[in-house]
Structure 1
Amino acid sequence: MPQGKIIKALSGFYYVLGEEGTVQCRGRGVFRKNKVTPLVGDEVVYQAENKTDGYIMEVKDRKNELVRPPIANVDQAILVFSAVEPEFSTALLDRFLVLVEYNQIRPLICITKVDLLDDGLTKLERYAEDYRNAGYEVIFTSSETEEGLKELSPYIEGKISVFAGQSGVGKSSLLNALRPELALKTSGISHHLGRGKHTTRHVELIKIGNHGLVADTPGFSSLEFTEIEPAELNYCFPDFARLSEDCKFRECLHISEPKCAVKAAVEEGKLPEYRYQHYKDFLQEIKDRKPRY
């Protein structure tokens, strides 16, 4: 039987890209019985008599999967954050980074709408330097002026990428700039609500360049650490994880333990204090989480 990749899921149908093009499929009942839900990005075995009447017979093992957005086998997450409208937030960026790190997906930080800045990039460049020092790659882009698009394109080639970020940051606008014929629906932020309007209603893999696939995902502004345990949070901050090798205690949580290398680095100005504050906030949130049964 042929194999392919799910590139779109909509209204109970799965659109599978195989050697002979895209086939519209349904999931077999066995998936519901075994509590397996096919996801965009899944490699599957399917059976089809024609282009519109196929069935997914098997879902191959996944290397990773996300819940929000629901997608599997992602190579990298392009975290799209706007310079303004909505305002750039390190707290929200760190929240995204923790979840991406936990799922072992490589992140790329993309700060867009830089053409709207009145006072230049000075403050954002300081933030960018902090995140680069933490081990992340950061690029500045603008869908209007096309700044940074040539720099972004090589990251996308040959990979499955997920564009993720808060609603209204310009993910769809950025995809339109990369591939104008897409004409994806876009919308700015609601000034009454102070947040973006949802313009993407489903997850779909879109071809960008010669061999790149990008998922334009529904925007969202709240993310919960439902799976992460307190001892795991350290490893979701790679700059902290590197320093923690010099902590006195192997399972140091970097809060009240003596001879903590992370706390020392913060006091010496080697780690940004705001990153450490976010870590403490996230750790408390995880500790306060209701136990799962």
Structure 2
Amino acid sequence: MPKGLIVKALSGFYYVLEDGQEAAGEQPVQCRARGIFKKKGITPLVGDRVSFERTGNGEGTVDEIAPRTTELIRPPIANMELALLAFSVVEPDLNVQLLDKFLVHIEHAGLTPVICLTKRDLLKEADDDVLAAEVEQAAALYRSIGYEVLITSSKWREGIEQVAARIAGGLTVIAGQSGVGKSSLLNALIPGLELETNAISHKLGRGKHTTRHVELLPLPAGGWVADTPGFSQLDFAEIEAESLGACFREFGELAERCKFRGCLHVHEPDCRVREAAGTGDIAESRYEHYVQFLQMIRERPRRY
């Protein structure tokens, strides 16, 4: 039975590229999933390694799904190694609360996040020293925490080679809210791709969704990058209050020295995380976002 990779999912079909066929320029096989998956509550995902069977009409059926190394619910994708989080520095302005939400979900899923700040050309054209300083401070903050931060301009091709080198040979998902320039970034990374791009709405402060499904795109230097629909909000349905702190890298060693095991770093006495937030050793914005996210988790409806 041939094996392959699901490179696209659309309207109930799964497009499987057979192993060894990428270099030959073969097209993926359009497959349906066997009914057993639905009975077990399993949905094949883009990025899944699968066994499939060809049918007489040139299509096929997905018969088996290999164990996943990672899985994201939103966007729905499996086996990614790295998450390239695209956030624009202007139009729309850099939203660090949303960035922290993305980081929490990526950390929880076990992927390696890389922050990619886009549209540097618009920042320079705006000639706003205050805004430029805020962006530099944000980049410095996340680098100090241990995150890799790349700053790009698709228009000027600034930083594109660094991004291409970072994601070459692996499985990368690119994610971020709509209008931040993900499609422009992908067009710059993959010559001839020509994904549709839309201008930002100045009235709404966000862009239109130009990507409507999840799809793996082959990279020139090998590997795959997943384009995903843009979205502007995330919930915390899969994260419990007790595990939220572990998704903030700078809390790690401090949390081990808290007086109480399972400390939530809000009201407990002798909390080293809260002390560090008070002295500025943990950035005020990061701690505030942690508290906000914790409250969201506590207020979500119970699942029965």
- TM (norm. structure 1) is 0.96
User: Which segments of 5 or more consecutive residues in structure 2 lack a partner in the other structure?
Assistant: none
Shift of 1:156: 0.7
Partner of 1:167: 178
Output the CA distance in 2 between the equivalents of 1:261 and 1:30. 50
Contact 2:118–2:153 (Cα < 8 Å) also in 1: yes
- SS of corresponding position for 1:175: helix
1:234 aligns to 2:234 (yes or no): no
Output the CA distance in 2 between the equivalents of 1:14 and 1:228. 29
1:10 aligns to 2:13 (yes or no): no
Moved more, 29-38 or 233-242: 29-38
Cα deviation digits, residues 169-212 of structure 1 (max 9, x gap): 00010000111300001112222322210000111000112212
Return the match for 2:116 from 106, 110, 117.
110
Contact 2:55–2:61 (Cα < 8 Å) also in 1: no
Output the CA distance in 1 between the equivalents of 2:56 and 2:17. 13
Over aligned residue pairs, what C-alpha RMSD do you find?
A: 1.3
- Aligned letter for 1:201? R
Moved more, 11-20 or 128-137: 11-20
User: Which segments of 5 or more consecutive residues in structure 1 lack a partner in the other structure?
Assistant: none
Aligned pair count reads: 293
- Aligned letter for 1:3? K
- SS of corresponding position for 1:292: coil
Output the CA distance in 2 between the equivalents of 1:260 and 1:35. 41
Contact 1:25–1:52 (Cα < 8 Å) also in 2: no
1:155 aligns to 2:166 (yes or no): yes
- TM (norm. structure 2) is 0.93
Return the match for 2:82 from 69, 76, 79.
76
Output the CA distance in 2 between the equivalents of 1:273 and 1:44. 45
Partner of 2:128: 119
Output the CA distance in 2 between the equivalents of 1:55 and 1:182. 29
Contact 1:66–1:103 (Cα < 8 Å) also in 2: yes
- Aligned letter for 1:145? W
Partner of 1:93: 99
- SS of corresponding position for 2:97: helix
- Aligned letter for 1:291? R
Shift of 1:51: 8.5
- SS of corresponding position for 1:182: coil
| Overall identity of the aligned pairs, in % | 55
Distance 1:50 1:131, change over 3 A: farther
1:179 aligns to 2:202 (yes or no): no
Shift of 1:52: 3.5
Partner of 2:296: 285
Moved more, 49-58 or 169-178: 49-58
Output the CA distance in 2 between the equivalents of 1:123 and 1:32. 48
- SS of corresponding position for 1:163: strand
Q: How does 1:238-277 map to 2 (within 5 A)?
A: 238-277=249-288
Output the CA distance in 2 between the equivalents of 1:259 and 1:130. 26
Shift of 1:217: 0.3
